[in-house]
């Protein structure tokens, strides 16, 4: 399922292959500048579903949290 979506939005159906692999649609790869070898963070919640995001988004978030804590530590 694909179709015309507003700028910055995308949705598609994908199939899980015999080895549990999925193919991220080209439109989504282009939207996030994903290329072979890039790492994604896979999130799963039984009640809310599955999501993926580029790993560097989470990495940057946690680096910022660590830096805030480090700056705010009592010495």
The string of pLDDT tens digits covering residues 41-63 is 999 999 999 999 888 888 888 88
Tokens for 66, please give them. 């660590």
Among 1-5, 12-16, 34-38, 49-53, name the one with the lowest average pLDDT: 1-5
pTM over 0.75: no
Domain ranges of the chain: 1-38, 39-75
Q: Which two tokens stand for residue 44?
A: 């799963």
Instruction: Examine the pLDDT at 17 and tell me if it is beyond 50.
Output: yes
Beta bridge pairs of residue 51: 43
Give the whole-angstrom CA distance, residue 16 versus residue 24: 11
Q: Which residues pair with 40 in a beta bridge?
A: 54
- Token pair 């899980």 in the structure block, residue: 16
């Amino acid at each position: 399922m694909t179709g015309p979506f507003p700028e910055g939005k995308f949705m598609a159906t994908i199939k899980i292959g015999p080895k549990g692999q999925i193919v991220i649609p080209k439109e989504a790869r282009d939207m996030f500048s994903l290329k072979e070898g890039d790492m994604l963070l896979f999130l799963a919640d039984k009640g809310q579903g599955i999501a993926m995001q580029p790993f560097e988004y989470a990495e940057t978030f946690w680096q910022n949290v660590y830096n805030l804590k480090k700056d705010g530590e009592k010495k």
